Amino acid sequence: MMRYAVRHSTVYEYGGEVSHSHHLLHLKPREFAFQRCLESSLILDPQPGSANEDFDAFGNAIARLEYDRSHERLTVVAQMQVEVFSRITGALASSQPWDAVRDRLGYHAVPMSAEDLEACRFRMRSSHVLLEQVFEDYAGECFEPGRPIAGAADELMRKIHREFKYVAGSTTHRTSILDVLKSRRGVCQDFAHFMIACVRSCGLAARYVSGYIRTVRKSGETAVGGDASHAWVSVYCPPLGWLDFDPTNNCMVGEDHVTLAWGRDFADVSPLRGMIVGGGRHKLQVDVRVQPL
């Protein structure tokens, strides 16, 4: 087990006064079998007119803020302490063949298990994830007929890491994964979206996970994507359940990763998004610190 203190600071400097704004935050760590949130708090400047906590459609903790007074700067600092537990998943070869999983997730006019039904939420096209033959073709050599799904996903992760280059600032949130495939460069968000597109285009279920990664891993290696928000992929691999793969760092997710939220893609789990009236052009500064305790 590892315990971390995380500080995630977001500062908006507006070019003029913002008269009214609404913000949606995914900045509270998710509670699940491999993670426990010990503390979580928000420091807001200025204070909002109203603030409410809730859960979204995927079970992630969210906060909604409304500002009804003029301001030219917004600071949101999320502070948290979490415990992350090791994931003992068993041999990847013990998972079911990927094509058998694809068939069981298809429509058969018979009741599905609750687990399969939940997985089907993450099989379809979404805002940042296209379903195209080119993605299925890219994954083809990894998803050979009869191959265990976890082993195929692991091989796909390694192929992406081998053939794509991490280049900070090379893409934006508007960059299509088709462009990422052409350029073979991007950042963790792009690699996660691309791997999800490959998996879903094969008829399988994969979800986008947002969070953080320890900058210096226990192995002594420096993690790519540290000191910032990070993203990786979770693939439905029965009977092992959901297994998480980090194509940016070519590893399965374990005690070095802190999970914030999961959804269909980045649009579902953006750490902070909103709508403003006024403000003009703005500058954004984000600073993330992940400290092992």
pLDDT of residue 79: 97
Would you give the DSSP letter of residue 5? E
Cα dihedral sign, 269-275-281-283? negative
Give the bridge partners for 228, in sequence order. Answer: none
Please name each of the domains of the chain with its CATH number.
2-85+270-292 (2.60.40.2250), 92-268 (3.10.620.30)
Average confidence (pLDDT) over 120-128? 96
> What's the CA gap between 123 and 242, in Å, rounded?
13
How many C-beta atoms surround the C-beta of residue 54 within 10 A?
10
pTM of the model: 0.94
Average confidence (pLDDT) over 60-87? 96
H runs (alpha helix) in 110-148: 114-119, 133-139
pLDDT of residue 225: 62
pLDDT of residue 107: 81
User: pLDDT averaged over the chain?
Assistant: 94
What percent of the chain has a predicted confidence (pLDDT) above 70? Answer: 96
pLDDT band for position 190 (cuts 50, 70, 90):
very high
pLDDT tens-digit series, residues 252-273: 999 999 999 999 999 999 999 9
Q: Which of 65-79, 87-101, 111-125, 143-157 has the lowest mean pLDDT?
A: 87-101
pLDDT of residue 131: 97
Would you give the DSSP letter of residue 29? P
pLDDT surpassing 70 at residue 111 = yes
Question: Of 221, 200, 202, which Cα lies nearest the Cα of 265?
Answer: 200
Q: Which helix (H) or strand (E) holds 179?
A: helix 177-183
What percent of the chain has a predicted confidence (pLDDT) above 90? Answer: 87
pLDDT of residue 280: 86
pLDDT of residue 217: 63
Give the DSSP per-residue string, 6-72. EEEEEEEEEEEEEEEEEEEE--SPPPBTTEEEEEEEEEEESPPSEEEEEE-TTS-EEEEEEE-S-EE
pLDDT band for position 220 (cuts 50, 70, 90):
low
